[in-house]
Structure 1
Amino acid sequence: MPLSQSSVAAASAAWVWIPDNATVVDDAGYCLVRFPDYFDHQLDVVAFRPHGPLGDAVDAVLERARAFGLPKVRWQVRLYDPPGLVAELEARGGALESMLDVLASDLSGGTASLPSLPPPSVEVTVRWATDVQTQRDGSAVGVAAFGGALPPEDRLEQEADRDAATVPAGRGGMVVAYADGEPAGSGGVMMADGVARLWGGAVVPAARGRGIYRAVLAERLSYAVTHGASMALVKGKIDTSGPILRRAGFTAFGQEPNYDVPL
């Protein structure tokens, strides 16, 4: 069955990722997340539920965000956010950081739904990050692609332990691709109510253009189908992963801009 705009929008709205070591301010009108310092950005508005005039609601979020003492907040403008939000953010000095395609693929046909992807142009092996070294390798790929720093060693151990439990249980985890024995790509999948949420797909700059992203994608989609997903959902940058995902059969159902707003 083809995916509908409403089903994808609902799945996207339900996807709010907050790490368990973050500080959360969950107000009636918004949700602010202060990420650990090793993330590539520290403060996000991950949900916005305004009451009353839109401009006043935006100002209330920014006033609370200033209490963290950081120079800016990243505001994720979601598909369901009110019209006019982007204009309000730009009026307060907000600058577009990235534009994401909200993409989905119908997996309800099981293995027959999986795309036939061209193989990488180099020898690639993939491993799930169920041990500390693989977890460290996958995190290093993310740092090379997105910025930030490696998590501390105790956090890597916790994440490896988590994936060692969740991957075999069908709840997801991170996969790492190696080219010529070196970590070259990584990406995660989280299973929720029949939806495979694909996150963090990345390839180190020196290894791009060799099909490594496709190898990471194929592994995650195969895992998703094996564990009963009927939809794959991903938010991909329009100028990097977005085109690859479209060629792999994903359909775009809208766009979500990220704005950096000065505090």
Structure 2
Amino acid sequence: MLSATDVAAASAAWMWAPDDAEVVEGDGFTLVRLPEHFAWDLSVLAFTPTGSGPLGAAVDAVIERARAFEVPVLDWEVGLGAPAGLAGELTARGGQVKLTLEVLARDLGQEIPVLPPPTADLTVRWATDFETARDGSAVAVVGFGGELPPDEQIEAAAAKYAAAVPAGGGGMLVAYVDGAPVGFGGLSLVDGVARLSGGVVVPAERGRGIYRALVESRLSYAVAHGARMALVKGNVVTSAPILRKAGFTSFGQEPIYAVPLS
């Protein structure tokens, strides 16, 4: 049985940044400047203010450092363990919620629910070669915006996945219908936690069970490689309802604020 404390700790430990991102450490915070091909620019990766000073001063220090990047907006996720009053401080500085994530987890020691099969003639494969990795990246662009990474970055990602998948570390799973890439989902296994990320299906193929199939495939892989918990941060509007049907339990929401820097 998963506890809220365990899930909150696993969620707080999940700090993702691509290999080619710029990561900046400050006093009680970490910022990540994403590469140009991403649809967003700058995010707060961690915020753990030190000392007994006012929260507003700590928030201002992050914003002041973020202004040096000369981008218009800072994305700031208010996590389950965020300091009390953080959302109010961001709102007072013009921050507005751009997206709300729901933190969902399930105990992989329990039986995985049998989900309805997809209505599409679907195949899935791991992105352990350039072509499949490029297909998954192309689906990500359709679902999340941005641009395709340079070929050399896709090659590097495919090589990384080719080593990680057989070793039980996870990777990128890509779904195809009639040979065309229609969905993808990421998975990484860290300290017994299966982190499901990035799941999306192209608009023309939604509603056919493809997202469910990608979830089921990743859970099966995670169980086979000894994971004890599956964790995902799903969009409250789109993926979270599907994940709850797949046996996930909600442990709270994490809104992402867009804070203006000008």
TM-score by length of structure 2 reads: 0.97
Tell me the residue number matched to 1:45. 44
Tell me the residue number matched to 2:199. 201
Unaligned ranges ≥5, structure 1:
none
Aligned equivalents of 2:6 and 2:99: distance in 1? 24
Aligned equivalents of 1:11 and 1:108: distance in 2? 17
Code of the residue aligned with 1:84 in structure 2: it is G
1:159-198 alignment, distance < 5 Å: 159-198=157-196
What are the Cα deviations for residues 3-25 of structure 1, in whole angstroms up to 9, with x where unaligned? 11011111111111122211111
Aligned equivalents of 1:31 and 1:115: distance in 2? 38
Aligned equivalents of 1:152 and 1:35: distance in 2? 14
Code of the residue aligned with 2:142 in structure 1: it is A
Tell me the residue number matched to 1:107. 108
What are the Cα deviations for residues 198-227 of structure 1, in whole angstroms up to 9, with x where unaligned? 000000111100000011111100100000
Aligned equivalents of 1:75 and 1:116: distance in 2? 36
Is 1:137 the counterpart of 2:135 in the alignment?
Answer: yes
- Find the residue that maps to 2:81 and give its secondary structure: coil
Tell me the residue number matched to 1:96. 97
Tell me the residue number matched to 1:157. 155
C-alpha deviation, 1:28, in angstroms: 2.8
Aligned equivalents of 2:178 and 2:113: distance in 1? 25
Question: Which segment drifts farther, 46-55 or 171-180?
Answer: 46-55
Aligned equivalents of 2:109 and 2:253: distance in 1? 24
Code of the residue aligned with 2:93 in structure 1: it is R
Is 1:23 the counterpart of 2:2 in the alignment?
Answer: no
What are the Cα deviations for residues 11-49 of structure 1, in whole angstroms up to 9, with x where unaligned? 111111122211111123100000101111110001101
1:49-60 alignment, distance < 5 Å: 49-51=48-50, 52-60=53-61
Aligned equivalents of 1:28 and 1:67: distance in 2? 16
Equivalent residue for 2:145, pick from 136, 144, 147? 147
- Find the residue that maps to 2:80 and give its secondary structure: coil
- Find the residue that maps to 1:222 and give its secondary structure: helix
- Find the residue that maps to 1:221 and give its secondary structure: helix
Unaligned ranges ≥5, structure 2:
none
What are the Cα deviations for residues 86-119 of structure 1, in whole angstroms up to 9, with x where unaligned? 111111111111111100010024xxx2220100
* RMSD across aligned positions (CA): 0.8
Tell me the residue number matched to 1:4. 3
What are the Cα deviations for residues 46-93 of structure 1, in whole angstroms up to 9, with x where unaligned? 110113211110110000000001001100111111111111111111
Code of the residue aligned with 1:85 in structure 2: it is L
Code of the residue aligned with 2:49 in structure 1: it is P
Code of the residue aligned with 2:32 in structure 1: it is V
Is 1:255 the counterpart of 2:253 in the alignment?
Answer: yes
Tell me the residue number matched to 1:64. 65
Aligned equivalents of 1:18 and 1:26: distance in 2? 13
Aligned equivalents of 1:165 and 1:190: distance in 2? 13
Tell me the residue number matched to 1:216. 214
TM-score by length of structure 1 reads: 0.97
Code of the residue aligned with 2:239 in structure 1: it is S
Aligned equivalents of 2:108 and 2:3: distance in 1? 13
